[in-house]
Each structure stands twice: as structure tokens, then as C-alpha cells.
Chains A and B, each alone.
Chain A
């Protein structure tokens, strides 16, 4: 992928402890799957940042290639790709998400 775009994405994912690439924003998610992700972070009371891929076509396509992941939402914790909607829900239901975030945010 384009080096400038890759640097942009790297800068984004490293700038936030928890970053959610989503369609829309926290107040107005534009897709049910993105909304699920927002609700999960809200339920856990975790501070998180969002990036609206609908506002930026370059990032919208680029993040799919960067993560080798074809769908939105995508979740990054401390610069590391955690997964998409299904994995987030699975981790939340099993209690692992709370644990992972506590460890990641403490360090």
C-alpha cells in the first residue's frame, strides 16, 4: 500500500489507546455493527476514540488492507489490531475484553 497512507494509519492507531474505526460517530453510528461496538465500549465504561471511515475514502479502503480485514468496524488497542465486530462481541461476552483492556490500559 501507499507509504504515506500507511504512515497516516500507523499514526492514527498509535495516537489512541483504544481506537474504533467505524461508520459514523459515537452519537450517530451509521451501521448496526459499528453501533454494537460503540455500545460495548460504553457498557464497559472505557474511554475510546473513533474514526469515521465514511468521512475519508482513503482510510476506508486503506484500513482494510492495513489490517488484512475486509469489514468495518475494526478495533485497535495500543496500536494492535484486536479484531472486528464478531470478535469484539465474543470477547465481551466471555469477559476477556474487560481483562484485555484493563491490562492494555494499565501499561
Chain B
């Protein structure tokens, strides 16, 4: 499991000034729903957008500290 605040922090570190919303779906800290709004996504494909977020959480995902991550990415409107 991971601390929700640490997850948001890690994403913001990789994607400066991103708006990050993290929800713990089960209360167990390992099934998360994450929404990321970031200006830098604008020219990128969905795959690239998700890869950037996954990249920020590489360790947590590889160790299965985060077991499931439902991810939504978008540009700020």
C-alpha cells in the first residue's frame, strides 16, 4: 500500500503544476483511482500521457505497492 499524498506528490514532481486527484477505492491503499490534469499533455497521445504518469509511479507499480490504478488523463480546459 501507499500513502495517497505520496502518490500525488510523486506525480506532481514528474509533471510540474499538474492537478492531481487520488482516490483510494477500497481503503486498502493499493487500488487507486487517479485523475491528472496537465497542460503538458496537450500534444501527446493518450498512451504517452498514461506512460508519463506510470513513469512517475514506476517503483510503486513494479513492487505492486499499487496493485491497481484506474487512470484518467486530460488537459486543463
Contacts and interface: CB of A to CB of B under 8 A. Distances in A.
Interface of A: 33, 68-71, 81-87, 90-91
Interface residues of B, number: 13
Contact of A83 (B46, B61, B62): B46
Contacts of A71: 54, 61, 68-69
A36 to B, nearest CB: 11
Contact of B54 (A69, A82, A90, A91): A69
A24 to B, nearest CB: 16
B33 to A, nearest CB: 10
The SS class assigned to the B binding surface is: helix
A90 B46 contact: yes
Residue of A70, A86, A91 contacting most chain B CB atoms (<10 Å): A70
Nearest to A87: B46
A81 B51 CA distance: 12
B47 A83 contact: yes
B71 A86 contact: yes
Interface centre among B50, B61, B72 (most CB of A within 10 A): B50
A87 B68 contact: no
Given A70-B54, A70-B58, A71-B61, A86 B47 contact: no
A2 to B, nearest CB: 18
Q: Which of B47, B54, B71 is most buried by chain A, counting CB atoms within 10 A of its CB? A: B47
A59 B46 CA distance: 24
14 contacts: A33-B68, A69-B50, A69-B51, A70-B54, A71-B54, A82-B47, A83-B46, A84-B50, A86-B70, A86-B71, A86-B72, A87-B46, A87-B50, A91-B46
